[in-house]
Amino acid sequence: MNTDKPFWVTFLINCVIWVFLFFIPFLLLEPRDGITPYLQRMAMTSALTIILYYINYLYLIPRYLFTQKFLAYLLVILGALVISCILVNLYFYFYVSVVQNWHHRPEPLFGRGMWVPLFPLLTGIAIGISIRMAKEWARTEKERRELQGEKLLSELAFLKSQVNPHFLFNTLNNICSLARKKSDDTEPAIIKLSQIMRYMITDSTLEKVGLEEEVDYLNNFIELQKIRLADRVEISFVIEGGLSSIQIEPLLLIPFVENAFKHGISYNGKSRISIDLRTMPGELSFTVENSKPPSRDTLKLEEPGIGLKNVSRRLELLYPGRHQLEIRDSESVYHVMLKIQIQ
């Protein structure tokens, strides 16, 4: 039964199907004296089968099977089958054999012939169970997918919300250090921060943004870090391939770059950060590599790895089976390589 259609339409369609199943074979016969007693008996059986089908479909299955009252369901069905067989046999015995004076000798009232209607009745019950179970499974599967989709969106929103404060905290610390030094770079840093905040407030709420916009965001972040670090770090950002036709989830690449600046900058020596972005047909490759100073010489602003854990989870949710993330952590170099199959 299709709940998207009015009930009377569904009922009419079902009636046509029942007529086709039960009566077409008999219409192809050539009855000797009009409608034969056998056809009358089949008509009675068909009517009871249809009635039992709807009682089972609309009432018995939801009340007993869906509530796991299997024994009660079995007893009710057995009772309904016995009563239906008795009704058909009584009709055939009294009306056809006695009232219409059928020329054949009638069978015993409760003989073996009483169970002749059992097969079509069981067929109707089996069809009802199959259709109702299939419909219930489809409904449950649809609800499961909807809940899974809602959970996915909620989790993505939560992970993205963790990115924004995380980055903002580090950037404000950078500007604070410049202000304490009364550096001339304080104003340019604030301008860069305003551009970054504009992107975070507007575009980061979108499902996807152009890769060009994400790259501009990375450039602003890198320039802001250069103002703070001056000549202490050698930074390389290489872009190969076209950007204009590619869409990507916002704030997906920044955690890798941010992690390199957080944990790869030395107080006392030179540091190196290399960023490589390449686009090919159907694929985006993003590599970030940074030198590793001694552990006691690292600028640690918060627990390491939080940003990478978040972005790893986002990749699992957004690109299941369509991304490759490799992280190599050696004694002197931290290397991250991300490949995404883009559409």
User: What pLDDT does 1 receive?
Assistant: 42
Radius of gyration for the chain, computed over Cα atoms and rounded to the nearest angstrom: 38
Q: What is the pTM of this model?
A: 0.55
Q: Which two tokens stand for residue 44?
A: 């009675």
Can you give the pLDDT at residue 31? 47
Residue with tokens 């055939």: 92
How far is it, in rounded angstroms, from Cα 202 to Cα 339? 26
Buried b (16+ CB within 10 A) or exposed e, 306-325: ebbebbbebbeebbeeebeb
pLDDT at 94: 67
pLDDT in the model for residue 156: 57
Q: What pLDDT score was predicted for residue 220?
A: 87
Report the pLDDT value the prediction gives residue 325, as an integer from 0 to 100: 93
Q: pLDDT truncated to tens, each residue of the chain (343 aa)?
A: 444 556 666 667 766 766 666 665 555 555 444 455 666 667 777 778 888 888 888 888 888 888 888 898 899 989 888 888 888 777 766 665 555 555 554 555 565 656 667 777 888 888 888 888 888 888 878 777 765 665 565 555 655 655 556 557 767 877 887 788 787 778 888 888 888 888 877 776 777 889 999 999 899 888 888 877 767 788 899 999 888 889 988 888 988 888 888 877 776 777 889 999 999 988 999 999 998 877 645 444 444 455 677 788 888 888 888 899 999 988 888 999 999 998 7
- pLDDT for 34: 44
The sign one gets for the Cα dihedral 74, 76, 81, 82 is: positive
Domain extents in the chain: 7-116, 153-341
Which of 228, 230, 233 lies closest to 180 in space, CA to CA?
228
Task: Report yes or no: 3 and 142 within 8 Å, Cβ to Cβ.
Answer: no
CATH number at 153-341: 3.30.565.10
Non-local (6+) Cβ contacts of 2 within 8 A are 10
Read off the DSSP letter of residue 106.
Answer: P
pLDDT for res 303: 47
